[in-house]
Amino acid sequence: MYFQNISTYLLILILGLGGLAMKPAPMTENIKIQSKNGNYTLISLHEQNITEVYKNGSKAKSIWQQITQLVSRQNSNESEKQKVWKLDWYIGKQKPFLSPDGQLLVLVGDVMLGNQLTTGAYIEMGENPIYIQVIRKGTVENEIRHRQLFDMSIEKLAEVHDLPVKGGGWVSMNQLLKNYPEISESIDWKNNQITLQLINGESKTMPLLGKF
């Protein structure tokens, strides 16, 4: 009886939500991402710190810390490793690509959604989601958004190209960017540009820095 009630409740919930886009659950686990490139290591943390607080009778306070920093590995001694730059957020499910000199960081996708894009009503993503962020020395310099690549909505693209749409209205970015799996090979660090192969057959080369 218990399992039947649960099953009925879940069915009602699913039918009730219908066409609404699902909102991802917040990250509540301690997570550490490391990406090494030559003499540098990119470290991104989402972790819970307990700090002692003695205000209003409270003795401990839990704080979620989010930070991303680039560390120089040129010295073999662990204590001599130096922080080059940092970000005050966690990169989450974004794919990180670091330039050889460690000055530029290209992030592909969304922090919480990764390569998922919505045709529905996930308000925080909006109708013009960010595909790529370009960061220089810890500062966001540029963003490549949906409308800079396509002249129609994600929903319309899915319809025109007959793309599979997951429950809630989700479409994978790798369906819209044909070279998504090999996107690292599309970044030309020397000439400061990235080339994207679009589902409509177009190829767009865009500067990493400067006006898009």
Q: Give the tens place of pLDDT for each residue, 119-143.
A: 655 445 567 888 999 999 889 999 9
Kindly indicate the confidence band of residue 114, based on its pLDDT and cuts at 50, 70 and 90.
confident
Which residues lie closer than 8 Å to 59 by C-beta, 6 or more apart? 52, 53
pLDDT tens, position by position, 33-91: 666 777 888 888 776 665 555 555 555 555 656 777 777 766 555 545 677 888 888 88
Amino acid occupying residue 108: V
Name beta bridge partners: 44. Answer: 33, 68
Kindly indicate the confidence band of residue 117, based on its pLDDT and cuts at 50, 70 and 90.
confident
The answer on pLDDT for 10 being more than 70 is no
Kindly indicate the confidence band of residue 1, based on its pLDDT and cuts at 50, 70 and 90.
very low
Q: Which of 52, 70, 68, 49 is nearest to 60 (CA)?
A: 52
Query: How many CA atoms within 13 Å lie on the side-chain side of 94?
Result: 23
pLDDT at residue 56, as a whole number: 59
* Percent residues over pLDDT 70 in the chain: 65
pLDDT at residue 18, as a whole number: 40
For residues 189-195, give the mean pLDDT. Answer: 94
Pair 16, 22: CB distance under 8 Å: no
Give how far Cα 92 sits from Cα of 66, 111, 120, 132, 144, Å. 10, 5, 22, 14, 18
Comparing 32 with 20, the larger pLDDT belongs to: 32
pLDDT at residue 32, as a whole number: 62
pLDDT at residue 193, as a whole number: 95
Q: With the C-alpha atoms ordered 174, 176, 182, 188, is the resulting torsion angle positive or negative?
A: negative
Report d(CA 162, CA 57) in Å as an integer. Answer: 60
Pair 197, 183: CB distance under 8 Å: no
